[in-house]
Amino acid sequence: MSLREQAEKRVDAKIKFQENLYKYLIVNTIIAIISVVFLKSYWLLLCVMFFWGIGVLDDFFKAYSYKDIFGYNYRERKIQEELSKMGD
C-alpha cells in the first residue's frame, strides 16, 4: 500500500469518527430532551449512550492511535506548531 493510500485511509477514518461523534451528540441531546419532558426516566438515554458510545469509541481508536497523539515525533511536531504560531 502506498503512502498516499495509507493517508487517505486514515483521513477517511478520522472523517467517519467526526461524523459519527456529531450524530451521537445530536441524537443523544434530542433523546435527553424527550426523556426529561415526556418519559420522566433516563433508561432509554442511558442505553443509547452506552451502546452507541461503544461504536463511537471504536471509531476513535481506529482513527487516532496512541502513536498519532504521543508518537515518536510528537515533540518535534509541537515545536513546529509553536514556531509557526510565533512566525504569524
9-19 residue pLDDT tens: 888 988 999 99
- Asked if 69 and 83 touch (Cβ cutoff 8 Å), the reply is no
pLDDT tens-place string over residues 74-88: 777 777 778 888 875
What domain range is 34 assigned to? 3-87
User: Dihedrals φ, ψ of 55, to 5°?
Assistant: -65, -40
**Total domain count, the chain:** 1
Alpha helix positions (H), the chain:
3-34, 43-63, 66-70, 74-87
Is this model's pTM higher than 0.95 or not? Answer: no
- Asked if 41 and 35 touch (Cβ cutoff 8 Å), the reply is yes
